[in-house]
Amino acid sequence: KGGRAIPFAARPMTQLEYELLHRTLAEAMEPLYQLLRNSTGFWYHNCSQRCLTFTDIAPRGLAPGERRSWLVLQRFVEGFFLHPVGLEVLVDHRDPDPRRWAVQQLWYNGHYFSSPQELAERYEQGTLAVARLAEPPSRQLFSSYEPRGRFATGTPTEVHGAKVCEPQGRRYRLRGNQLEYGGWSLAFRLRSSAGLQLFDLRFNGERLAYEVSVQEAIAFYGGHTPAAMQTKYMDAGWGMGSVTYELARGIDCPEAATYLDAHHLYDADGPVRFSSAICVFELPTGVPLRRHFDSDFQGGFHFYAGLEGQALVLRTTSTVYNYDYIWDFLLYPNGVMEAKVHATGFIHATFYTPQGQRYGSRVHSHLLGNLHTHLVHYKVDLDIAGTGNSFETVDVRFENISNPWSPGAR
């Protein structure tokens, strides 16, 4: 690209490399067994229960050709992304031979150490500021998705809420990857790197766009810990389009939706089927598409006219580690198309230190919600009234003129 070769060190991670990284970290954590067990109740080395896990950070280095990853150690409980233990480890895994991978630095509770042995010695000498964490509760863990608490109004929450229904059947047609709805027709596919793509979008037979597609999602973080300050995720490099897991009927999409499987050949020996990874459904918007009450200004009216507000939704999700992106394309019967993304899941959080409050908010006893920015990139290749399209912006400015029907007023 640009006349330069892409270095092999810039490749995405694979399951095999993660397994080798786990082995390297397990060996490196052996000297820290007592520190981790006594301070967290969990450990990494030789663990089968009450284990620690890790989240890795990108970019993997500070210069081209490097492959050094900061690993954030966390308790392996539900919502482990919200359970950092205060230890971050920098591993150099550039060498093709994993036996030469090595821990280069550690950060523990606000301080840097050159090796696990140095950190272990400081602990044994009693000169280490130890971050002791409370035992996580067996029920109602703050990071779990188990509903808890009650609304003060006392309105019923145990009964079903409103549902989407199709009283006279579906008003859209699916033939393979071809979708038709009202005046709309288009083709779609799920790209393993980036996600949902629409092609040949037409309304009443006239092409409006050659392609409208998701290209990238980026998140830039700030923080006091080395992992936080290094975090600049570019999610297409993490296979954002390939983590399109099964959609839950009645939650991720209405029960009446059409569900489609997806197939990905990504970090695998062959194609892998992801069942019910895409859904299509018609959605009442809850707002009229247009309406007017023509009053006679005498307590009556001349007429009322309105059109129901509905849209067809094409949806998938991407679970990129802690984040769940919900990707929607909406088609309206008046020729309007809308692209939406909803971010949910868990925040990318780091261990709380007083210095970290400059870069985020304390959201739990040992947890900092780091300040960050999301950017989402779409490709929009319009073909409105032909292919010779251009783009320009129009600015509005204040004009100070005399009032023509009231001289002297401006």
Phi, psi of 230 (to 5 degrees): -90, -15
Q: Model confidence over 207-249: pLDDT tens digits?
A: 999 999 999 999 999 999 999 999 999 999 999 999 999 999 9
C-alpha pair distances (Å), 135 with each of 38, 298, 377: 11, 71, 42
Burial of 121 (0-12, 13-18, 19+ CB in 10 A): middle
Dihedral sign from CA coordinates of 113, 118, 123, 128: negative
DSSP letters of 13-82? P-HHHHHHHHHHHHHHTGGGHHHHHHHHS-BSTT-SSSBEEEEE-SS--SSTT--EEEEEEEE-STTGGG
d(CA 288, CA 77): 46
> What is the pLDDT confidence band of residue 150, given thresholds at 50, 70 and 90?
confident
CA distance 201 to 337: 10
Type of residue numbered 351:
F
Given this model, what pLDDT does residue 6 score?
82
Residue 147 has a pLDDT of 83
- The two tokens of residue 139 are 């029920």
The pLDDT of 191-212, averaged and rounded, is 96
Whether the per-residue pLDDT at 1 is higher than 60: the answer is: no
Rounded to whole angstroms, the Cα distance separating 40 from 43 reads 8
DSSP structural state of residue 125: H
Q: Among the listed ranges 4-13, 67-76, 163-172, 291-300, which one has the minimum average pLDDT value?
A: 4-13
Residue 170's nearest CA partner among 161, 178, 162, 180 is 180
374 close to 385: Cβ distance less than 8 angstroms: no
Mean pLDDT value across the chain: 94
Q: What is the pLDDT of residue 408?
A: 80
Q: Which two tokens stand for residue 349?
A: 């959080």
- Concatenating the DSSP letter of every residue in 206-247 gives EEEEEEEEEEEEEEEE--SSHHHHH-EEEGGGGTGGG--PPP
Identify whether 59 is preceded by a cis peptide bond (ω within 30 of 0).
Answer: yes
The single-letter code of the amino acid at 248 is: A
Beta bridge partners of 345: 323
- Nearest C-alpha neighbor of 242 from the set 263, 217, 213, 269: 263
Candidates 44, 108, 221, 323; catalytic one? 323
Work out the burial of residue 37: count CB atoms within 10 Å of its CB; fewer than 13 is exposed, 13-18 middle, 19 or more buried.
middle
From the candidates 56, 92, 235, 252, which is the catalytic residue? 235
Q: Which H or E element spans position 122?
A: helix 116-125
User: What is the mean pLDDT of the segment spanning 89-116?
Assistant: 97
Which of 51-60, 156-165, 236-245 has the least mean pLDDT?
156-165
What is the spatial distance between Cα 43 and Cα 29, in angstroms, rounded to a whole number?
8
Q: What is the pLDDT of residue 79?
A: 96
Cα of first residue to Cα of last residue in the chain, in angstroms, is 58
Is the predicted pLDDT of residue 404 greater than 90, yes or no? no
What is residue 257's DSSP assignment? S
Regarding pTM above 0.95, the answer is no
Per-residue model confidence (pLDDT) at position 149: 78
Please give the biggest Cα pair distance in the chain.
90
Q: What angle do CA 43, 19, 345 make, to 5 degrees?
A: 75
159-173, 210-224, 379-393: which has the minimum mean pLDDT?
Answer: 379-393
Question: 10 Å Cβ neighbour count for 109?
Answer: 17
The token pair that represents 337 in the structure block: 């198309």
Active site residue 378: no
Give all domains of the chain, ordered by start, each with its CATH number. Answer: 9-125 (3.10.450.40), 172-382 (2.70.98.20)
Determine the Cα–Cα distance for residues 406 and 128; give it in Å rounded to an integer.
Answer: 80
Helix H or strand E encompassing 121: helix 116-125
- 129-150 core/surface letters (b: 16 or more CB in 10 A; e: else): eebebeebeeeebebeeeeeee
In this model, does residue 173 exceed pLDDT 80?
yes
Is 235 in the active site? Answer: yes
Q: What percentage of the chain exceeds 70 in pLDDT?
A: 100
The pair phi, psi for residue 344, each rounded to 5°, is -145, -160
**pLDDT number for residue 355:** 94
The tens digit of pLDDT for each residue in 250-259 reads 999 999 999 9
